[in-house]
Amino acid sequence: MSVTEMFSYIQGFLSADQDVREDIRKVVQTLEQTAREILTVLQSVHQPSGFKEIPGKCAKARELFCTVRTQLADLKTKFPVEQYYRFHEHWRFVLQRLAFLAAFVVYLESEALVTREEVAQILGIEVVREKGFHLDVEDYLAGVLIMASELSRLAVNSVTAGDYTRPLRISNFINDLDSGFRLLNLKNDPLRKRYDGLKYDVKKIEEVVYDLSIRGLAKEAESAVEK
């Protein structure tokens, strides 16, 4: 094989590769659009009026997740299954956002940490790599960390809206999450960087709880906690 032939073979490979990336990028754009819509729906829980409508907002978000599922199904068709990690960086960001949104919805509904299986189910994807398009564990964890900072915001706003018990529940939840993350041996990677931000969320929520308790505003909540 001559040098020229070899290079044109490689060139053919590279442009095929670029086409695939182009296709993926298009689908990912629509996914990002839907993710933003869901975020907008959920953002309104920070408004005082939004607190009473949390179940309604969640239902609406769940509806939008249907669109996400079809879009992800579309994404799956754009590249060979076994090359997931080759193109991973194209959808890593949006998948983390979606994991966050799913976790947030589940938290608002049941105040529990979403499992990786649930997220995968909400997004209509797999958990284990062997079965196809899956949710990487690091992306799931990143999504959970985004939720933690969202919850610290929610704690502040729930006080403003007059809901004094919620911060205490959030505090317990975040502490739980924090001890969970301490179990992990993270490398010096993006996930680690994001995890380093968790302590500020914890601190923020603790401050809110402190403010409430010195003013006796959390009385009824405290009695619930102390049983």
Partner 1 sequence: MSKREGEGPRRNADAVQGRDVSANPSSPVIAAFKVFQQELDTKHDKYERLVKISRDVTIESKRTIFLLHRVTSVPDPEEILNDAEVKLDGVRQKIGNIAEELRGEDIHQFHRAFTPGIQEYVEAVSFLHYIRQRSLISLEEINARLVFMRPEKGSAEAPPTGAQVLTFQVTPSDYLLGVADLTGELMRMCISSVGNGDIDTPFQLSQFLRQIHDGFSYIGNTGPYEVSKKLHTLRQSLGKVEDACYALRVRGSEIPKHMLADVFSSRGALIDPEEGVV
Q: Using CB under 8 A as the criterion, which residues of the chain lie in contact with partner 1 when the complex forms?
A: 1-4, 6-11, 13-15, 18, 82-86, 88, 110-113, 115-116, 129, 137-138, 141, 168-169, 171-173, 175-187, 224-227
Closest approach, Cβ 46 to partner 1, in A, equals 22
CB 205 within 8 A of CB 155: yes
Closest approach, Cβ 21 to partner 1, in A, equals 11
CA dihedral 8, 9, 15, 17 (to 10 degrees): -160
Can you read off the two tokens belonging to residue 69? 């599922």
Closest approach, Cβ 183 to partner 1, in A, equals 5
Closest approach, Cβ 99 to partner 1, in A, equals 13
CA dihedral 104, 110, 116, 118 (to 10 degrees): -100
Nearer of residues 63 and 220 to partner 1, judged by Cβ: 220
> What residue spans of the chain are helical by DSSP H?
3-43, 54-76, 88-110, 116-123, 137-160, 166-182, 190-196, 198-214, 219-225
Nearer of residues 202 and 217 to partner 1, judged by Cβ: 202
Nearer of residues 39 and 54 to partner 1, judged by Cβ: 54
